[in-house]
Amino acid sequence: MLTTLKNAFKIKEIRTKIIFTVLMLAVIRLGSAISVPGINASVFTSWFKNLQTGGEDAFGFLGRMTGGSFENMSILALNITPYITSSIIIQLLTIAIPKFEEWQHDGEEGRKKLTNMTRYFTIGLALIESIAMAVGFYNNGSMVKSQNLVYCVEIVAALTAGSAFLMWLGERITDYGVGNGISIVLTINIISRLPQDIQSLYTQYLKGKSIVQMVVYGLIILAIIVGMVVLVVLLNDAERRIPVQYAKKLQGRRLVGSGSSEIPLKVNTAGVMPIIFAMSLFQFPIIVSSLLKYSGTGIWSEVLSYLNQSRWFDRTNWKYSIGLLLYILLMVFFAYFYTSITFNPLEIADNLKKQGGFIPGIRPGKPTSNYLQTVLNYIILIGVCGLIIIAVLPIMFNGLFGASVSFAGTSLIIVVSVILETIKQIESQMLVRNYKGFLDD
């Protein structure tokens, strides 16, 4: 990776793209420090930390995904979460709405239409979320400098504009920088919490210990982190390659077209989406209840306790760990569901048949589709088992040892995957440039 970056900086075009990306990320971090006008940021930050101290892990995840801009109530507080939610909604709607499905298969023009719809949904969601937050701040009283409707309008405008601006910056990074802009923004948000996590681990496990204890604990922590990174890398790169043969075709007086290729099926086909879907379902009731200041002790309180990840692996009350089983089942369900809407074996089988291709030992058409679906079901199960291990281990360490960090589980998958994809994109750009240089010579 270091060699790739070193070689990339020797090429002016790629160096310019990398510098542009870094400057845009600096603008984002600067915006994360600018408070929303009319908000008592210190009061909100104190309230936010009290929620986390009280075991509301849902808000902790929100803080990690926004790079701390939400807990500081900056103009980028909503960050790219409305965009991510909108992207998921649009992908799901491609199943329910035939027009969206048509656009999905309509090449570049169709993708542009879906992108525009995602933008509109993003602005709409950001507006709805900012209005709900402004009303909550207004009713709270102490979180706003004055209970004035003008302040509410300012809060809504600032939060909505901040989310739209961040979406625009992400698209500019995609167009003029390196990597996928939205993914890189999410990654830098997570990485920005790394110093805080290191300090937390030092305070909890190393501070005040003897030299021997510090070395042992440090090595254990490092081994766990490295082990999880290696697992994520293996899970991200693992794939099953299906061999494909192409029959010869008669063109004029010659037989052409014979050859072979492969269909790469990624083991982790759905990526991090099953975890995000399952976590969103679990966190939504907790976040809404907290914002509505629910503090009851009835059935709903018990339900929230089962949904709260910070209650899982609690040695004083193991019954709440039952919620983990539902969490795992949801991840398995969403892994298969998300793959089913992004990968169509029947379409691939039809394309192979039209191109004269076939899988050795499998008849073209429906048998090929069934074979691909069987293989896919098998590797999805392997992939989701890897996701479960990565997602559950941090929760277990948090419950048993109180080790809560942001660079584990979902965050780690996102960071490692984005870094690997960005490096691959840089390498491909370098390769294309080398070919151009060779042809120009």
Domain locations in the chain as residue ranges:
1-193
Mean pLDDT over 323-334 rounds to 88
pLDDT at 55 over 50: no
Distance of CA 136 to the CA centre of its chain: 28
The distance in angstroms from the start CA to the end CA of the chain is 29
Could you tell me the pLDDT band of residue 417, with boundaries at 50, 70 and 90? confident
pLDDT of residue 54: 45
Question: In this model, does residue 297 exceed pLDDT 80?
Answer: no
What lies within 8 Å, CB to CB, of 308 at 6+ separation is: 55, 56, 57, 58, 286, 320, 323
Q: For the residues 104-122, what does the mean pLDDT come to?
A: 83
Q: What is the pLDDT of residue 403?
A: 61
Q: What is the reported pLDDT for 306?
A: 81
Q: Where are the alpha helices (DSSP H) in 177-237?
A: 181-191, 194-201, 211-237
Axis crossing angle, helix 181-191 with helix 81-96, rounded to the nearest 10: 140
Task: Tell me the one-letter amino acid at 53.
Answer: T
pLDDT the model gives residue 123: 92
pTM given for the model: 0.77
CA distance 189 to 208: 31
Of 46-50, 121-125, 341-345, where does the model show the most confidence?
121-125
Number of helices followed by number of strands (H, E) in the chain: 17, 5
pLDDT(439) > 50: no
State the pLDDT confidence band at 23, using cuts at 50, 70 and 90: very high
Return left, alpha or beta for 344; rule: phi > 0 is left, psi -120 to 50 is alpha, else beta: beta
DSSP state of 40: -
Q: How far apart are CA 186 and CA 188, in angstroms?
A: 6
Residue 296: pLDDT band by 50, 70, 90 thresholds?
Answer: low
Confidence of residue 132 (pLDDT cuts 50, 70, 90): confident
What was the pLDDT predicted at 294?
Answer: 67
The one-character DSSP state at 320 is: G
**Contacts of residue 250, Cβ cutoff 8 Å, sequence gap at least 6:** none
User: Is CATH 1.10.3370.10 the classification given to domain 1-193?
Assistant: yes
- Span 350-392, pLDDT tens digits: 888 887 778 888 888 888 888 888 888 888 888 888 888 888 8
Opening angle at CA 180, ends 176 and 181, nearest 5? 65
Torsions phi, psi of 163, nearest 5?
Answer: -65, -40
Confidence bin at 438 (pLDDT 50/70/90) = very low
